[in-house]
Each structure stands twice: as C-alpha cells, then as structure tokens.
Amino acid sequence: MRYLILADLHSNIEALDALLEIVGEEEFDHYLILGDLVGYGASPLEVIDRVRELQPQTCIRGNHDKVCSSIETGDNFNLVAREAAYWTRKVLDEDRIHYLKELPKGPIEFGDGLMAAHGAPHDEDFYITSRKDAYHVFQSYEFRVCFYGHSHINGAYSYDRKNLDYLSSTANLWGYYLEPDRRYLINPGSVGQPRDRNPHACCAVYDSEQRHLKMIRAQYDIKSAQQRICNAPLHQSLATRLEIGS
C-alpha cells in the first residue's frame, strides 16, 4: 500500500495544492490525514473540501478542528490562535462543521501495525518533542509505525529496544528504507504552517510493502496565503510566520 500522509494543513490551500501537484504523478492507495485541517489560515472551506476529495482516506481530528467546530472552547489557546479559531467558526457552514465534528479522535490503527495520532497516541493534544516523549510512546503502544503531527516538525524517531534515534532534515526531499527490526514514530511535518525554519509545505509518502519513507517539501505561493490572512482579517503574525517557517 502506498500512503500519502498529510498533517497540520491549517487552512492553507496554496500549500496543500502545491503538495498535491508535486506528488500528482504518483498513485496512492490510501490518504492519511493527521488532523488540524483548519485554524490559523484563511482558507478553511477550500481545505476541508479538498481533503474530502482524497479517497480512500483515514482522517483524524486535531486540537484546532475541535475548537473550530466548537467541541472545545479554546481556553487553552493563545489569543491569536483562539481569534483565528473563532473567525473560522464564523465562515464555516453547517455541513463543514458537521464534517469536522465527526472526525474521529486518534489514535487509530490501520493497515498492518500502523497507527495514526494527532499529538501522541495517549493524548491527542500532547506534543512529542523529545526522545523522552518518544520513548514513553514506544513503551506504551505496540505499533510498528506510528504517524503523528501537532508539533509541525518533520522528522522520525526509531527504536530497537536498545537505541532510540532521531532523524530530521529541512531538505526538500529525503527518506530511507525502514529497518524490519526497528519501530518508528514519524512526523510528516506541517502542510500549512511548517515550524522548522524551512517554510516549504511538507508531507510524507510511505510504501508499506517496500517499507520506504519519503519526506517531500514543496514551494508554494506564500504571498497569496499571506494576502488571504490579511484580507480575512486574521492576525498579521499568522502571515509573517509562514515566510520564516516558524
């Protein structure tokens, strides 16, 4: 099975379309979307509609999807994120709110030993940002490969009961063959708001037969996404951070 894996799209249609175009020649058996379709950016309708077209799919919710569809209040958000979520609530119609509300909570198991989570399997709002965090997840769950998002940082932890390694890169294309005796925790990076100082949109392709992982970045029309944010209007900082990848 060949999977296209997308996370943290954050209402950035320019970024999503650029990635879909760059992988357009490839065929996928399944689409995996790790949550945060909306929030921060100014194109929630377009992103939800585009994601729904990607079939067959497994799509789980993220923390912004919960606040933007009023499952949660956003009390734990900073002011800029909360204002963007409340703006998103205003522009979403009933159908799209219903879609977001019905997105399942992670973790979800799919395929053979594969798992998907937004933040971490034990808590969808938890940020995996260290080897200690990753070790806890490897100890607590049985997956062979778990894909996660939320931190917006592209990279992969791997574990063989002795060593826990972490590989990340800001290259526009990197990847490797997964070793059969290791387990993996893989973050494809963020489609719509990368935070590792490379502003290009990120995604991952995983071939479960070949056990090959490919991380891909695409340049996109950042100015257009920024202009939409300013016109919405959403906070200026949401536009600025797109061009520095933070």
Buried residues in 84-104 as b, exposed as e (16+ CB within 10 A): bbebbbeebeeebbebbeebe
- Smaller CB separation from Fe ion, 30 or 64: 64
Torsion angle, alpha carbons of 223, 225, 231, 235, to 10:
-100
- Smaller CB separation from Fe ion, 36 or 124: 36
Question: Residue 144 is encoded by which pair of tokens?
Answer: 């062979």
Q: Residue 124 interacts with Fe ion (CB under 5 A)?
A: no
Q: Residue 17 interacts with Fe ion (CB under 5 A)?
A: no
Q: Residue 65 interacts with Fe ion (CB under 5 A)?
A: no
**Residue written as tokens 């002011």?**
79
Stretch that binds Fe ion, among 11-19, 30-38, 101-109, 207-215 (CB under 5 A): 30-38
- Smaller CB separation from Fe ion, 85 or 178: 85
**Residue 237: which residues within 8 A CB-CB, separation 6 or more?**
80
Query: Measured from the CB of residue 125, what is the shortest distance to Fe ion in angstroms?
Result: 10
Query: Measured from the CB of residue 207, what is the shortest distance to Fe ion in angstroms?
Result: 26
Helix (H, G, I), strand (E, B) or coil at 60: coil
Q: Residues binding Fe ion: what is the number (CB under 5 A)?
A: 2
**Residue written as tokens 């956003």?**
74
- Smaller CB separation from Fe ion, 8 or 196: 8
User: How many distinct helices (H) and strands (E) make up the chain?
Assistant: 8, 12
Cβ(151)–Cβ(128) under 8 Å? yes
Stretch that binds Fe ion, among 1-9, 128-136, 205-213, 214-222 (CB under 5 A): 1-9
Q: Residue 36 interacts with Fe ion (CB under 5 A)?
A: yes
CA 97 to chain centre: 19
- Smaller CB separation from Fe ion, 12 or 208: 12
- Smaller CB separation from Fe ion, 151 or 226: 151
Stretch that binds Fe ion, among 32-40, 65-73, 88-96, 225-233 (CB under 5 A): 32-40
Q: Parallel, antiparallel, or unpaired for β 164-167 and 155-159?
A: antiparallel
Interface positions with Fe ion (CB under 5 A): 8, 36
